[in-house]
A and B are shown apart, each in its own frame.
Chain A
């Protein structure tokens, strides 16, 4: 049952674009707000249909609103997502989302940071390592203070997240850039065994012939309540600490 695109859908889309990424609760209240503002029929469980209607119109533009999981808290977020036609151009032309806000050498540093994150076991890059890679830029070099300032901007712009001096790719970045990452890092990038999305912060099976990866939140869900956790692929004992499932904060904004 495909809905027609109306002003309610357009308002939803505009808000998504303005916010970058929206959590599930936010998306639900936005859905309600948009329907009520434009007197569109609203049903709480019709959010997916609502978004599908938008997506069918976005598809010719190589854009989609996509749901993705935060590696930190396991919650679902919605973000606007471009197909790889545009993303791969990131190395070359001027047409991508990030390029209007960042200079060439800044984008190069971002790509180097991404290299570090993808290549790391923890899915994190320390600020020290990032600062060191600032010295190896082929475009104009960045000073230490400039690099620090740039990292702040990238966090503020919702491309990176920072905790205790270590940087990870933000949820929005992962959702938006998944095709790019899969293309650019196809051999290196980790994929979660449970949800099949790309994974950075994850646990790895210690069996040397197995080595499958599972997102931390996916581990929490998959192994919940099991007294003896076992690898879903090779059945070896799963040696890592099983995290708790994090409940979303109750958000009563009304």
Chain B
């Protein structure tokens, strides 16, 4: 059986969890935790494949390695470069009390998130105030349609260039570098830009921070595996990110950094060492992923030595499907995703309208 899980964004990076064959024979060290094994939900996210439920379960996560469950029920984790087992999958089980506590902490920190962003964020340009509708109208009257079109095109290109790195785009930068003297019709330009991205590119322009006016582009089209390498270039960094997001989500939305480091270490991705694919792992996780808004890395007050906790970032909130993560967990543990009731509710909550829409599950 195999599962394809996706992070929807227009660079089309996806995490494949295809079936692999072949076994490694390392001695099992840990027991799988004692959750009841329910009937396998063989919900296939790949195109039209039917899953066959057999004894052995093989799942690989790009860039990390593979999880193989043996007939004895024990989990074996093997990577290309290692030969031992990992208890990381066991970490994903926890008590109900722990879950509740974690969720409560998350609620508090979510409230805090809306106000201030990370400390690395510069303030929104204080000299730019959003012009009123009448000001925009007046401004448009003074310009030719061609001028407005040109300016719209420049903003579209600016977004496309900046978004290549998946770094969020700040309104202040757009105004300063591109819109410039057309700032009095900024709302009209942004309206046209949004429409262009929607109609021409199939991308959605989302303001992920309404206080500091920061945007990202997300993909409206579902990532679909294509016939060749053109349509689905894979990126191991996304595999790593996916594992981290999964742990955070299963743990209620907030985890201390040590848990992530330990999880990664068990997957032989050591934050202290230079990794073959990822390089400086710590920098990738705490800097690059944070700047791209996939993760938040927040200092825990009153800790000495300083400790941080990880949350999902705003880009992850809109681009990553929690339902898909849960489905992956379900496959990994051969459990019904609904057995994690808290997570299931959160993943399928209808108020979560900012989630990227994934059309029909294939």
State whether these chains interact: yes
Indicate whether A61 sits within 8 Å of B153 (C-beta atoms), given known contacts A33-B226, A97-B161.
yes
Given contacts A95-B161, A101-B164, contact A60 B227 (CB under 8 A): no
Contact partner of A61 (CB less than 8 A), chosen from B165, B178, B200, is B200
Partner of A10 from B160, B201, B226, B233 at Cβ < 8 Å? B201
Q: Is B341 an interface residue (CB 8 A)?
A: no
Contact A11 B202 (CB under 8 A): yes
B194 at the interface (CB under 8 A from A): no
Contact yes or no, B201 A13, CB < 8 A:
yes
Whole-angstrom distance between the alpha carbons of A18 and B178 in the complex? 24
Main DSSP-derived SS at the A contact region: helix
Partner of B157, one of A7, A29, A33, A62: A62
Contact with B along A226-254 (1 / 0, CB 8 A): 00000000000000000000000000011
Whether, in the assembled complex, A186 has its beta carbon less than 8 Å from a beta carbon of chain B, the answer is no
**Nearest chain A CB to B199's CB is how many angstroms away?**
7
Q: Are B149 and A60 touching (Cβ within 8 A)?
A: yes
With beta carbons under 8 angstroms apart, the residue of A18, A57, A63, A95 that contacts B158 is A95
Q: Tell me if A122 is interfacial: C-beta within 8 Å of chain B.
A: no
A92 to chain B, nearest CB (A): 11
Task: Give the residue of A14, A29, A86 whose beta carbon is less than 8 angstroms from that of B202.
Answer: A14
* Cβ of B192 to closest chain A Cβ, rounded Å: 10
Q: Are B153 and A62 neighbours in the complex by a CB distance under 8 Å?
A: yes
**A residues near B224, Cβ cutoff 8 Å:** 11, 37
Find chain B residues with CB under 8 A from A86 CB.
Answer: 154, 157
Instruction: Quote the shortest CB–CB distance from A48 to chain B (angstroms).
Output: 19
A30 contacts chain B at the CB level, 8 A cutoff: yes
In contact, A15 and B201 (Cβ under 8 angstroms): no
> How far does the alpha carbon of A86 sit from the alpha carbon of B196 in the complex, in Å?
18
Q: Cβ of A93 < 8 Å from any Cβ of B? A: yes
A173 to B156, CA, bound (A): 21
Nearest B residue to A18 via CB reads: B12
For residue A183, CB closer than 8 A to chain B, the reply is no
Q: Are B221 and A10 in contact (CB under 8 A)?
A: yes
Q: Does B41 contact A (CB under 8 A)?
A: no
Contact B200 A5 (CB under 8 A): yes
Expressed in whole angstroms, the minimum distance between the Cβ of A204 and any Cβ of chain B is: 36
A81 in the interface (beta carbon within 8 A)? no
Task: List which A76-104 residues lie within 8 A (CB) of chain B.
Answer: 82, 85-86, 93-97, 99-101
Q: Does B162 contact A (CB under 8 A)?
A: yes
A211 at the interface (CB under 8 A from B): no
Q: Which residues of A contact B152 (CB under 8 A)?
A: 60-61
Among A26, A54, A96, the residue within 8 A (CB) of B230 is A26
Q: Number of A residues contacting the other chain (C-beta, 8 Å)?
A: 37
B177 interface contact, C-beta 8 A: yes
Kindly provide the distance from the CB of A85 to the nearest chain B CB, expressed in whole angstroms: 8
A210 CB-CB contact with B under 8 Å: no
Interface string of B215-238 (1 = CB under 8 A from A): 000011100101110110100000
Q: Is B84 an interface residue (CB 8 A)?
A: no
Q: Determine whether A58 belongs to the interface, using a CB cutoff of 8 Å to chain B.
A: yes
Q: Does A19 contact B (CB under 8 A)?
A: yes
Asked if A17 is an interface residue, CB under 8 A from chain B, the answer is yes
Is the pair A254, B164 in contact by a Cβ cutoff of 8 Å? no
Query: Given A15-B230, A93-B177, does the pair A100, B164 have CB atoms closer than 8 Å?
Result: yes
In the bound complex, what is the Cα–Cα distance between A11 and B220 (angstroms)?
10
Interface centre among A19, A54, A61 (most CB of B within 10 A): A61
Cβ contact within 8 Å between B157 and A15: no
Q: Which residues of A contact B103 (CB under 8 A)?
A: none
- B165, B219, B233: the one contacting A14 at CB < 8 Å is B219
Q: Are A94 and B227 in contact (CB under 8 A)?
A: no
Q: Sorted from nearest, which 7 A-B pairs have the closest CB atoms?
A: A10-B202, A253-B228, A61-B153, A57-B200, A33-B226, A26-B230, A100-B161
Task: Give 24 CB contacts A-B under 8 Å.
Answer: A10-B221, A11-B224, A13-B200, A13-B201, A13-B202, A15-B12, A18-B10, A18-B11, A18-B12, A29-B228, A30-B226, A32-B227, A37-B224, A57-B200, A60-B152, A60-B153, A61-B200, A62-B157, A63-B157, A82-B157, A86-B154, A100-B161, A100-B162, A253-B227
User: Which residues of A approach B to under 8 Å, CB–CB?
Assistant: 5, 7, 10-11, 13-15, 17-19, 22, 26, 29-30, 32-33, 37, 54, 57-58, 60-63, 82, 85-86, 93-97, 99-101, 253-254
Chain B: residues with CB nearer than 8 A to chain A? 10-12, 149-150, 152-154, 156-158, 160-162, 164-165, 177-178, 196, 199-203, 219-221, 224, 226-228, 230-231, 233
Q: Known contacts A95-B158, A97-B160; can you find 4 more A-B pairs with CB under 8 A? A: A13-B202, A19-B233, A29-B227, A61-B196
